């Protein structure tokens, strides 16, 4: 428990040299393997060191982010158990080493290869979310960023024709998460969206560079108004010597919506409905624009020779180009509403309140998730919060699980949301939720989100979004 709650340093790296190595890897190795996909990737750049220097985290925070990110919209009465499992399965895999650096435990390292693949993928998600949110909250002070699973938001929830991530004879690669940034001030509110691709490996820096090169293809598959969204690609290397995290920043246009704070709640009050936009391969105009971005052509006008060369390259590879999903310019507000509602849905589900979460579920999603043998409203869909707990002076509501330990004690995990923020979300008052989130972030004492409440018999992590986890032995 002490290890779970102890904040440790994260070794984060983002340099121009790393960006150049990843570009070379994408061009010379990953590109040829992916065929024409390499012609539609995004360029990658380093981020300023001020955005990632001195980041700390605890194993409990990594597990909380993992549990929240995997709070899927699912048709199962066992969904809460699955979310609980995300916190339990890897609770003995990370610790602070002698240099106060977050590292893999020996027990976490001593597993066979196929288990290491699953472990690095899952912990890579949790670590990437910790780092990405910290970077964006430093870049945009006063903004709250929440994770929304890309396929859940696009395919399972709201848009026809998105399809599977990988389809035979077609290249369909999407990033892992949207990071939805929201701000609610006294007068104006806004929404930004980044896309995030999470990678994890037990290998060396070479494996990390390969993963980042592949990620540069994945984050380019979503466009809004003919422009790519800004991105973060994060690769974590797990080792008993310390976790190393590489971050790069493909560019894009990040503002989805701005407006008076009074409009925020009304925008989220009603389901925006599905759209008939579908995924498809890029047009020549899209292909040429992406090529100019990749080659750094800037705002200069293309010559006739360049256009002929681009047209020939497009026609030669048109059937092999990746499938992209494009939201038109007039769909920005729709996308903002979809993602903000999905983020609220995940937080309420994380607290175990299926009833309140259902107000942010579209009718189409409800039809998809209903099992054939279900009554119109099966009992398990009516679950709500069932426990309360205090973290320092803050009151949380949520759900609690216990499991026996060999010595007669029990492991208890409480998962929930700060009570005031929960009540704001349950009542659909997003602006009040965001304002209370800022106050919670300011009053929570450490960067590690939980050290004051952690001790020898418990570990606590609280996020800027109001979600909290406490793991303790009782």
SS3 state at 467: strand
Surface-to-core class of residue 474, CB atoms within 10 Å of its CB (0-12 exposed, 13-18 middle, 19+ buried) = exposed
Surface-to-core class of residue 263, CB atoms within 10 Å of its CB (0-12 exposed, 13-18 middle, 19+ buried) = middle
Q: Which residues contact 288 (CB under 8 A, 6 or more apart)?
A: 302, 307, 310, 314
15 CA to centre of own chain: 23
User: Taking a C-beta distance cutoff of 8 angstroms, is the pair 195, 150 a contact?
Assistant: yes
Count of beta carbons in the 10 Å neighbourhood of residue 391: 22
User: Taking a C-beta distance cutoff of 8 angstroms, is the pair 174, 227 a contact?
Assistant: no
CA atoms of 456 and 211, how far apart (whole Å): 37
Give pLDDT, residue 328: 85
pTM over 0.85: yes
Total domain count, the chain: 1
Give pLDDT, residue 446: 46
Range of the domain at 143: 2-282+321-473
> Is residue 220 included in any domain, yes or no?
yes
Give pLDDT, residue 443: 80
> Is residue 152 included in any domain, yes or no?
yes
CA atoms of 1 and 353, how far apart (whole Å): 27
User: Taking a C-beta distance cutoff of 8 angstroms, is the pair 224, 255 a contact?
Assistant: no
Among candidates 69, 140, 260, 182, which has minimal Cα distance to 437? 182
Residues facing 145 on adjacent strands: 181
> Is residue 310 included in any domain, yes or no?
no
DSSP 437: H
> Is residue 186 included in any domain, yes or no?
yes
> Is residue 23 included in any domain, yes or no?
yes
> Is residue 205 included in any domain, yes or no?
yes
Give pLDDT, residue 375: 52
Surface-to-core class of residue 387, CB atoms within 10 Å of its CB (0-12 exposed, 13-18 middle, 19+ buried) = middle
> Is residue 438 included in any domain, yes or no?
yes
Q: Which residues contact 329 (CB under 8 A, 6 or more apart)?
A: 224, 225, 226
Find the farthest-apart pair of alpha carbons in the chain and give their distance in angstroms, rounded. 78
Give pLDDT, residue 386: 85
Q: What is the dihedral of CA 453, 456, 457, 463, to 10 degrees?
A: 30
CA atoms of 255 and 273, how far apart (whole Å): 21
DSSP 135-192: HHHHHSTT-EEEEEEHHIIIIIIIBTT---SSBTTB-----SEEEEEEEE-SSEEEEE
> Is residue 14 included in any domain, yes or no?
yes
Give pLDDT, residue 44: 93
CA atoms of 238 and 109, how far apart (whole Å): 9
Q: What is the mean pLDDT of each run of 10 residues along the chain (474 residues)?
A: 90 97 88 72 93 94 91 64 75 92 92 84 95 95 91 60 43 81 80 94 94 91 85 96 96 82 82 73 85 76 87 84 83 87 90 87 56 53 80 91 90 94 94 90 58 67 93 91
Among candidates 46, 388, 437, 108, which has minimal Cα distance to 233? 46
């Amino acid at each position: 428990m002490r290890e779970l709650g102890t904040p440790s340093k994260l070794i984060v790296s983002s340099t121009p040299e790393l960006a150049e190595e990843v570009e070379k890897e994408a061009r010379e190795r990953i590109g040829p393997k992916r065929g024409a996909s390499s012609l539609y990737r995004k360029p990658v750049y380093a981020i300023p060191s001020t955005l990632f220097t001195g980041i700390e985290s605890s194993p409990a925070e990594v597990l909380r982010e993992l549990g929240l990110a995997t709070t899927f919209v699912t048709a199962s009465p066992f969904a809460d158990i699955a979310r609980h499992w995300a916190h339990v399965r890897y609770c003995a895999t990370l610790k602070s080493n002698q240099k106060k650096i977050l590292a893999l435990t020996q027990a976490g390292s001593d597993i066979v290869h196929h288990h290491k693949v699953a472990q690095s993928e899952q912990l890579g998600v949790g670590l990437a979310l910790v780092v990405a949110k910290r970077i964006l909250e430093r870049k945009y002070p006063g903004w709250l960023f929440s994770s929304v699973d890309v396929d859940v938001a696009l395919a399972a929830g709201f848009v026809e024709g998105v399809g599977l991530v990988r389809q035979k004879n077609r290249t369909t690669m999407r990033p892992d998460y949207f990071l939805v940034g929201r701000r609610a001030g006294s007068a104006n509110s806004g929404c930004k969206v980044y896309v995030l691709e999470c990678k994890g490996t037990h290998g060396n820096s070479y494996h990390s560079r390969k993963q980042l090169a592949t990620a540069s293809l994945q984050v380019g598959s979503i466009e809004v108004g003919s422009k790519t969204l800004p991105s973060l690609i994060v690769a974590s290397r797990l080792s008993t010597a310390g976790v190393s995290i590489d971050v790069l920043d493909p560019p894009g246009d990040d503002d989805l919506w701005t407006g008076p704070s009074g409009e925020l709640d009304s925008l989220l009050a009603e389901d925006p409905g599905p759209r008939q936009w579908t995924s498809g391969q890029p047009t020549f105009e899209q292909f040429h624009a992406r090529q100019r971005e990749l080659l750094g052509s800037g705002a200069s006008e293309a010559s006739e020779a360049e256009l002929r060369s681009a047209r020939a390259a497009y026609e030669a590879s048109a059937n092999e180009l990746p499938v992209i999903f494009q939201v038109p310019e007039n769909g920005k507000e729709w996308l903002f509403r979809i993602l903000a509602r999905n983020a609220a849905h995940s937080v309420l589900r994380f607290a175990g309140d299926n009833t309140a979460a259902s107000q942010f579920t579209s009718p189409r999603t409800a039809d998809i998730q209903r099992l054939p043998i279900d009554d119109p409203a099966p009992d398990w869909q009516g679950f709500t919060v069932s426990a309360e707990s205090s973290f320092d002076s803050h009151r949380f509501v949520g759900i609690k699980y216990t499991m026996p330990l060999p010595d007669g004690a029990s492991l208890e995990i409480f998962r929930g949301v700060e009570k005031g923020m929960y009540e704001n979300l349950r009542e659909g008052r997003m602006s009040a939720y965001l304002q209370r989130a800022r106050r919670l972030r300011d009053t929570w004492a450490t960067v590690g989100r939980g050290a004051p409440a952690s001790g020898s018999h418990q570990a606590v992590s609280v996020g800027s979004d109001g979600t909290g986890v406490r793991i303790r032995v009782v």
